[in-house]
Structure 1
Amino acid sequence: MNQPHSTGKVYLVGAGPGAADLITVRGARLLQQADIVLYDALVTPDMLALCAQAEQISVGKRSGQRSAAQSHINTLLVESAQRAAIVVRLKGGDPMLFGRADEELNALEAAGIDYEIVPGITTALAAAASTRQPLTKRGIARSVALFTSSTAPDEAEETRIPDCDTLVQYMGGREAMLTAERMLSRGWSPDLPVMLVENCSRSDEVIRRVTLQQLAQEPVSATGPVLVMMGEAMRQRINAAR
């Protein structure tokens, strides 16, 4: 990358799924060194305690709620780097997965600002660990798709269902029921095992085990972020838990 015109550097840091001790060592160290931290809505107070010395700016996005526009976040990132040496853009999960990182990187590059990306544990892997549920299984599931129903402003609002052995839907709270209906209409088995994980890795984590048919018939009631895992790889452990 070319040398930046600004004295500041921006770090896109993955906060992980929620629990403060699931951030990487590098990510935690950067938070402790940061002058300014721009953080997502799902970042916990425990995580922000790691950067008590920094100016903290909330730029969170929550479905159905008033939130910061992406263009505004891009502007804040550039302005922050022009007045501080170390700026952390703290994103839930991993910055490069469903985090709109591309738009922020484009803005930083256009302004000639140096940056670095620090990966984080994405929620799908944290949920698999928390539920003790492998996403792959020899002889049954050898492919995994991570998807979301979130769309761009000019994009059709129809969730594209991946053709994969195990499906993991991010931000699946309100959209999970509609996804299940579409899957059933396309020939997926009504008794396909489904696991719903709310507030993954946090003290208030909730795990629900249902079938695809049940998911299609009853809206997901949740107050926190929900991850939906679907596939035959989960059948044995789901049955054992019942």
Structure 2
Amino acid sequence: MAESPAYPVGLRLTARRTVVLGGGQVAQRRLPALIAAGADILLVSPTATPSVEAMADAGEITWERRRYEHGDLKDAWYALIATSDPDANTAASAEGEAHRVWCVRSDDADAATALTPATGRSAGVTVAVLTTDIHDRDPRRTAAIRDALVEGLSDGTLVARQHRTRTPGVALVGGGPGDPDLITVRGRRLLAEADVVIADRLGPRDLLDELPSHVEVIDAAKIPYGRFMAQEAINNALIEHAKQGKSVVRLKGGDPFVFGRGMEEAQALAEAGISCTVVPGISSSISVPGAAGIPVTHRGVAHEFTVVSGHVAPDDERSLVDWPSLAKLRGTLVILMGVDKIGRIAETLVAHGRAPETPVALIQEGTTAAQRRVDATLSTVAAEVAAHEVKPPAVIVVGDVVNVGPDSPA
């Protein structure tokens, strides 16, 4: 009788006896999924890898340090046969057949009663891939198909929208410094599943072009403010759309909580009784200098870095930054939103002890195709900004690390 393709099925192994024969690399790879499935696992093996032994020490599995014996598969629901002894594998497989226990064999898939698919997980979905060609089983191909599906589901390029009723709410998503590839996997997936996206000017704009046509995209800068302040109007827009039962993404540049006013939005949503998910993003304070070849810390050069907002000048009564204390620090100073105030910031730092020749780098439109870098010192930075017409958004780095990287002017 011709052999037929395997029938795919999902096993519920919670609290059910599962036997693993062999404690080598195969067991090390397969045990975590069995543990996650809640199986009651008995490992039978004279030895085990350090990782498998750690699972036993943690109480995740029961380990009997011996070879396979007839009767080990009694009352088992599922067995993984992976010893280095072919005779023991054959005997265990025969026992499984006699007791109607589904068995996977690492040494001879054709002699097994069950096959392990190439599996992966993303967004609450398990992807399992089995070959249908029984004469040409290619584990590398099934693994590659698995990886492509999981990656597509994870980064949002493979969109499978949920058709059951979803819980409305808002996700505050940090989009990273500008390059669309630098958004987190979770952020990109939530963006692909959104009904409404309220986007900042500094968010990764290229991602908006990938959204399905039914998604409503709202430019936060163009929300009619009326009698409201800009932030209050944005809060109201988030609440209004969420109350309509929609899945809303607030797409912000960098990280929502690094000078992004994300907590104000989270607080407004909480007061309105709307669920809120925060998805951290890569902050431009670290990523943009890195993209320009500047490490914010470096052994023997800087053991600290400080990130401050420069949106108000040092002599402005609204400033919460202790500029005199910052001038006394020896580490790296990263200034966001400070291009138009950098002259007064530099003067203040020098006046309180920072050397006038301290290197400064300004990185405009960091991580995007328009990125450019302008180098100066504290004594020359105001003139260089004017001469090179540096415009926001730009990240300013002050400190000796400016001259460390491969792109440094030194």
What TM-score range do you get, normalising by the shorter chain?
0.7 to 0.9
The 2-side partners of 1:139 and 1:122 are apart by 24
Contact 2:342 2:381 in 1 (8 A): yes
Mapped partners of 2:256, 2:379: distance in 1: 33
- Is 1:194 equivalent to 2:364 in the alignment? no
> 2:300 — aligned with what?
139
Letter in 1 for 2:357: D
Q: State the match for 1:64 in structure 2.
A: none
- Does the 8 Å CA contact 2:290/2:296 hold for their aligned counterparts? no
Q: Secondary structure at the match of 1:145?
A: strand
Q: How many corresponding residue pairs?
A: 229
Q: Judging changes above 3 Å, is the alpha-carbon distance between structure 1 residues 98 and 191 closer, same or farther for their aligned structure 2 residues?
A: same
CA distance in 1, matches of 2:343, 2:280: 31
Which one-letter code corresponds to 1:170 in the other structure? L
Q: How many Å separate the matches in 2 of 1:74 and 1:127?
A: 28
Q: Deviations over 1:207-226 (max 9, x none)?
A: 11111111144544224411
How far off is 1:44 after superposition? 4.2
Matched letter for residue 96 of structure 1: F
C-alpha RMSD of matched pairs (Å): 2.4
SS of 2:355's partner is coil
**2:339 is equivalent to residue 178 of structure 1:** no
Measured after TM superposition, the shift of residue 39 of structure 1 is 0.6
Query: Distance between the aligned counterparts of 1:236 and 1:224, measured in 2?
Result: 25
TM-score normalised by structure 1 residue count: 0.86
Quote the residue 1:130 is aligned against.
291
Please say if residues 197 and 205 of structure 1, whose CA atoms lie closer than 8 Å, have aligned partners that are also in contact. Answer: yes
Query: Cα–Cα, structure 1 residues 85 and 208, in superposed 2: closer, same or farther, change >3 Å?
Result: same
- 2:81 aligns to what? none
Equivalent position of 1:30 in the other structure:
190
Query: Which residue in the other structure is 2:173 paired with?
Result: 13
| Helix, strand or coil at the partner of 1:70 | helix
Counterpart AA for 1:199: E
Provide the TM-score with structure 2 as the length reference: 0.52
**Contact 2:305–2:333 at 8 Å: present in 1 too?**
yes
SS at match of 2:339: coil
User: For residues 253 and 177 of structure 2, what CA distance do their matches in structure 1 show?
Assistant: 6
1:74 to 207, 211, 235: 235
What are the within-5 Å matches in structure 2 for residues 79-228 of structure 1?
A: 79-150=240-311, 156-158=317-319, 160-161=322-323, 163=326, 164=329, 165-220=331-386, 221-228=389-396
The one-letter code matched in structure 1 to 2:303 is R
Whether contact under 8 Å (1:18, 1:202) holds in the other structure is: yes
Q: Is the 8 A contact 2:358 2:377 kept in 1?
A: yes
Q: What stretches of structure 1 of length at least 5 have no aligned partner? A: 1-5, 62-66
- Equivalent residue letter for 1:209: D
Quickly say closer, same or farther: Cα 1:105–1:142, change in 2 above 3 A: same
* Distance in 2, Cα, partners of 1:29 & 1:137: 34
* SS of the residue 2:379 aligns to: helix
Aligned to 2:34: none
Q: Secondary structure at the match of 1:241?
A: coil
Query: Which residue type is aligned with residue 179 of structure 1?
Result: I
Partner SS, residue 296 of structure 2: coil
Separation in 2, partners of 1:42, 1:240: 26
* Residues 92 and 182 of structure 1: CA distance in aligned 2, closer, same or farther (over 3 Å): same
1:113-132 Cα shifts (integer Å, max 9, x gaps): 00111111111222222122
Per-residue CA shift, 1:150-197, capped at 9, x if unaligned?
35xxx8244542634110000121111221111111111011011100
Deviation at 1:80, TM superposition (A): 1.1
Bigger radius of gyration: 2
Q: 1:217 to 1:150 in 2, by over 3 A?
A: same
Q: CA deviation at 1:149?
A: 2.2
Identity between Structure 1 and Structure 2 (%): 35
Residue 42 to residue 26, structure 1, CA distance change in 2 (3 Å): same
* TM-superposition CA deviations, 1:76-128 (whole Å, max 9, x none): 11101111331000000000100111211111010110011111111122222
Q: 1:236 to 1:19 in 2, by over 3 A?
A: closer
Alpha-carbon spacing, 1:52–1:183, altered in 2? closer, same or farther (3 Å): farther
Q: Tell me, yes or no, if structure 1 residue 232 matches structure 2 residue 393.
A: no
What is the rounded CA distance, in whole Å, between the counterparts of 2:353 and 2:188 in structure 1? 45
1:113 partner amino acid: I
8 Å contact kept, 2:305–2:334: yes
Q: Relative CO higher for 1 or 2, CA cutoff 8 Å, sep ≥ 6?
A: 1
User: Residue 340 of structure 2: SS of its match in structure 1?
Assistant: coil
